[in-house]
Amino acid sequence: MLQLKIVSPERIEFTGEVESVKVPGTQGNFEILSGHAPIISTLMKGVVEYAGTQLPILGGFVEVQKNQVSLCVELEED
């Protein structure tokens, strides 16, 4: 399991355990699973997918370290 935390400038969007996270990286979409190598990457406009949820974003950053996934994102306005 992964420990996921998603924050935006306005609030904490999500914190909890998930099986996987799909993110829109600047070099293409990629999926983070348990045991993923440490990485820091920029994110572009797209959709973050986790636990059956789709979160539209304008961009941000992702960091993966020892099954801890942290996303700092700018959300798309409704």
21 forms beta bridges with 32, 50
- Predicted confidence at residue 63, as pLDDT, reads 98
Instruction: Give the side-chain half-sphere CA count within 13 A for 24.
Output: 14
Give the tens place of pLDDT for each residue, 30-45: 999 999 999 999 999 9
Question: Is pLDDT above 80 for 77?
Answer: no
